[in-house]
Chain A
Amino acid sequence: MTTTEPTTTEPTTTEPAPPAVGSDGAASDEDRPVGFGNLRRKEDPRLIRGMGNFVDDVQLPGMLHLAILRSPMAHARIVSIDKSAAEAHPKVVAVITGEDLAAQGLAWMPTLSNDVQAVLATDKVRFQHQEVAFVVAEDRYSARDALELIEVDYEWIDPVVDVRTAMDAGTPVIRDDLEGKTDNHIFDWETGDEAATKAVFDNADVVVKEEIVYPRVHPAPMETCGAVADVERVSGQLTLWCTTQAPHAHRTVYALVAGLPEHKIRVIAPDIGGGFGNKVPIYPGYVCAIVASLVIGKPVKWMEDRTENLVSTGFARDYIMEAEIAATSDGTIQAIRTNVIADHGAFNGVAAPTKYPAGFFGVFTGSYDLEAAFCKMSAIYTNKAPGGVAYACSFRITEAVYLVERIVDCLAYELEMDPAELRLKNFIQPDQFPYETRTGWVYDSGNYEPAMRKAMDMAGYEELRREQADKR
């Protein structure tokens, strides 16, 4: 066998040498990230020893494992399910379908957005990889094997995957489980003065229009989602270890779904391997684990794999934003108008404390002093995974910032003006605070120009523009 030589390939780098060591061997202050100071985290001594307690680390006596069968089709009627072969597997304890849950009134659960979501599909599947059935087995390998033994007969329905055309006449209705539903519309919201904004646009020197798409992204924490449910038979107490960022909200929903009083439910959020909003919603898998433990009388663990995490759990963004900006020919921004289509997937499971996207409405006018602004938003169902979580920046702030800064850049391009200059020209001035925006939100304070100039300085903006001019 050839000997292993140390790798000598090195990407070139201009980073400084590692920081100096103090005379007592302890790290000098330069080692510490900015703002870290002298405090040590309490959880680190456990975590660096591998003594974390993440949900998949929980092992209880007699614990069983749950695996979920998911639909390969995005939109289909469920004609029949044959679970007999799976039930006959020697290591399988139970196989449950939507029909079984429906008999107990457990097939649907409320979402955090006043909608309902299927725990297991009953009449039809509404997004690819939607939960259709689950298996409980003695170990996770057997549970996985048993999934292949369940036969499901699907009848194709045309899937609705383009939110732009989801409201066209003749498009299949996804949420025909909702009484009286005849289209794929969820809600409309608007903010600002539509007429006043139109007047400004009609008389403006310059109008720039751009479709700005913020695609669906996924928070992808390193730890996937899962739960261990343990319903204690005698006391009726449910203990749920869960990858949750919102244990109290979850407890309320489980109380509603399981018909248990809240004081009999204990939700434990142990160590978590990242959340980023992905672990706010309540997933069918959690409810399945609870139901399984309730029915079987043993602890049941459900841990999704990475594929399941990416295809079925709470995504972020997915906004199609038609943006318009009106300005004078010398670069005074007068108004911003936007029409937004929000793709919420098959069930409205957005994790938001308000009914409407407050963050978006409050921020899409940006840091600029405007005469008028108007935003209309339509939320639409599609045959995609449900969700629309916060993720990194709450409540659609990210979408709003992308919209306003992009459309301002588009204006700069149109006016052949430096984008930094354009912004500096249009900032709300310090003496205008507290400032009420054209959509009724109050910014309490701000001093934007020095902040902008400092950022430009740190980024070497002037030098970059000089270099660019040289190379052109």
Chain B
Amino acid sequence: MQVDLTVNGTEVSEEIEPRHLLVHFLRDQLGLTGTHWGCDTSNCGTCVVLIDGEPVKSCTHLAAMASGHDITTVEGLEVDGELDPVQEGFMQCHGLQCGFCTPGMMLTARALLNNNPNPSEGVIREAISGQICRCTGYSTIVRSIQWAANHESAVTIGASQ
């Protein structure tokens, strides 16, 4: 079957099998390998993308279901050559080590900050509670998101001007 969707602002039209998971569609078919997969049980969150601006676990979403919607992957965070403050924050505050959980974490952070520009630490921790990191112990991820909250710019996806 055919799916038509927007990925990182670009319209995409592709042939898929109904059973293809969105994560595999993005990685294997579109070559956007920044979105990862790490579990079989929808727990780990390395597959998180934004669908219509909301974080969704793309391993538990069919590509077919995404047809007609807007997908943002980590590759879409950078706008016109400018990094999203979330990306900058993760670099500034050592929010990543191996980097495998990072794309999902950053997208969830971006969605959080779009809705809540000044979240407390508790709210940040709750927002990322569906995603696992085995390297950092989460403190530097929280700090990275706080840094982004303090350094918001006009250049982010979903930003209300």
Contact = CB atoms under 8 A, between A and B. Distances in A.
A141 interface: yes
Given A47-B102, A48-B102, A50-B34, A306 B41 contact: yes
Interface residues of B, number: 61
A239 B117 CA distance: 48
B15 interface: no
Which residue of A48, A49, A51, A307 has the most chain B CB atoms within 10 A of its CB atom?
A48
Contacts, number: 149
Interface string A126-167: 000000000000011100000000000000000000000000
B120 to A, nearest CB: 6
Task: Give the secondary structure class of B's interface.
Answer: loop
B108 interface: no
Interface string A26-62: 1100011100100011011101111110101101000
Interface string A261-288: 0000000000111101000000000000
Contacts of A52: 33-34, 99-100
Interface in A278-320: 305-307
Interface size class of A (residues with CB under 8 A): 35 or more
Contacts of B38: 222-224, 273, 306
A10 B123 contact: yes
B40 interface: yes
A90 interface: no
A13 interface: yes
B150 interface: yes
A48 B83 contact: yes
A43 B94 CA distance: 11
A13 B126 CA distance: 12
A223 B36 contact: yes
A26 B27 CA distance: 34
A44 B101 CA distance: 13
A40 B44 CA distance: 27
Nearest to A18: B146
B96 A47 contact: yes
Contacts of A273: 36, 38, 98-100
A13 B106 CA distance: 23
Contacts of A10: 120, 122-123, 126
A31 B41 contact: no
Interface string B93-136: 11011111111001000000001100011110111000011110
Interface in B1-57: 17, 19-20, 24, 27-28, 31-41, 44, 46
Contact of B135 (A6, A9, A54, A274): A274
B134 A13 contact: no
A13 B103 contact: no
A429 to B, nearest CB: 35
Nearest to B140: A33
Contacts of A26: 92
Contact of A18 (B77, B78, B133, B147): B147
Interface in A78-129: none
A31 B147 contact: yes
Contacts of B132: 222
B17 A50 contact: no
A56 B74 CA distance: 17
Contacts of A272: 98
Contacts of A19: 146, 150
A48 B40 contact: no
Contacts of B102: 47-48
B58 interface: no
B122 A306 contact: no
Contacts of A36: 94
17 contacts: A6-B115, A10-B122, A15-B120, A18-B146, A27-B93, A33-B94, A47-B102, A48-B99, A49-B74, A54-B100, A56-B27, A56-B33, A57-B27, A222-B100, A223-B100, A273-B99, A305-B40
8 smallest CB-CB distances across A and B, nearest first, come from A50-B34, A273-B100, A47-B99, A50-B74, A57-B33, A18-B146, A222-B100, A306-B39
Given A10-B123, A40-B91, 17 more contacts: A13-B122, A19-B146, A27-B93, A32-B92, A33-B143, A41-B94, A47-B102, A48-B74, A48-B87, A48-B90, A48-B91, A54-B33, A141-B17, A141-B20, A222-B98, A222-B135, A307-B40
